[in-house]
Amino acid sequence: MNRRQNKIITISFLVAVLCCSIFLILYALRDNVIFFYSPSEIEKKVSNDDIADGSLIRLGGLVLEDSFQRGEDNYVSFVITDLKNEINISYSGILPDLFREGQGVIAEGYIEIIKFKNKDNILKKQLKFNASNILAKHDENYMPPEVSEALGLEY
């Protein structure tokens, strides 16, 4: 073989290795590309058995009005909704300052799938989410309470 054929074989091999590497990276990240799932997406994935009981996921949506309940030892429970479906969240810890009902939130934790039969003997699945981390979101118009008070604006 001459030098030209050696270069062609080497370049072809490197291109093949690069393509395989890119494919493996994209395949490994196929479900992690989305930053978080909405309650509707989680309901759909649970019904299709794409998400198993105890899976670590991120759930995002709005905190449902009048759903926040505080318990003992920093334990709280609330409901996250995407205005189509709702998922109950339980969390033990200190909530972010921006957390409030009607506000956007991202919860990271484990999904718990509770299976039961209703009165018609049909198997149903109820979802409960045990959050280990809560992140509050805000829009571009957010202003800290101290600044809004200093400017005389209603917070």
> Can you give the pLDDT at residue 120?
78
Q: What is the pLDDT of residues 110-140, one digit of tens each?
A: 888 887 777 777 777 788 899 999 988 766 5
Q: What is the pLDDT of residues 42-61, one digit of tens each?
A: 888 888 888 878 878 888 88
Please compute the mean of the pLDDT values over residues 9-26 and round it to a whole number: 93
Q: What is the mean pLDDT of the chain?
A: 83
Q: What is the pTM of this model?
A: 0.66
Per DSSP, the residues of 34-77 read SS-B-HHHHHHHHHTT-S-TT-EEEEEEEEPTT--EE-STTEEE
